[in-house]
Amino acid sequence: MSDAMDISRVETMVRGGTGSQSELEEQPEELPDKYESGTANMVGIAGLGAGLRFVCERGLDQVREHFKQMTQVLVEDLSVIPGIRLYRTIDVEQAVSVISFTAAGRRVSEIGMRLDDEFGILSRVGLHCAPAAHRTIGSFPEGTVRLSPGFFTTVDDIKKTVRAISEVLKT
């Protein structure tokens, strides 16, 4: 931003809920109040803080190790299902806990819908708003089904998910 620009002269976009000068209908001229109508995202900020505290308490290594284990089990179990194609890095050390797959002759949107409908398993299908990434891995324009184990995912959850995927692909 140019030094010549006087930021206090920028028009407000949203007004109301002044926070500091409740008797006024207009936003106060003081910064940052002028541009901060309403209530700040306290829940989001508190959530971020709690999340960071949790990771620090457990230790990044332990969190990372769990992701690695879950991803490994998922990859091993998925790769034996006939017709499945996995999109992932070969180097486990570089991988994050996100696994993309497609199944020969099946639409990813149908797989995702049935995992949700019949098994209550949430995935994200399609291009993930990353068309260039999908062009790179050769899955454009159909996209993939994407699964992402989290810190609270168990081996049992993974086994159930893989069984569900097998079931969906059978019928």
Chain positions contacting other proteins, by CB under 8 A: 106-110, 112-113, 116-117, 124-129, 141-143
Residue with structure tokens 């996995």?
A: 86
Give whichever of 78 and 108 is closer to other proteins, judged by the CB atom. 108
Q: How far is the CB of 149 from other proteins (least distance, A)?
A: 20
Q: How far is the CB of 133 from other proteins (least distance, A)?
A: 12
Q: How far is the CB of 140 from other proteins (least distance, A)?
A: 8
Burial of 47 (0-12, 13-18, 19+ CB in 10 A): exposed
Give whichever of 113 and 121 is closer to other proteins, judged by the CB atom. 113
Helix (H, G, I), strand (E, B) or coil at 113: helix
Which residues make beta-bridge pairs with 86? 101
Q: How many residues in the chain?
A: 171
Give whichever of 81 and 169 is closer to other proteins, judged by the CB atom. 169
Give whichever of 55 and 126 is closer to other proteins, judged by the CB atom. 126
| Residue 40 main-chain phi, psi, to 5 deg | -65, 160
Going by C-beta distance under 8 Å and a sequence separation of 6 or more, which residues neighbour residue 37? 12, 14, 15, 16, 17, 18, 19, 27
Q: How far is the CB of 161 from other proteins (least distance, A)?
A: 17
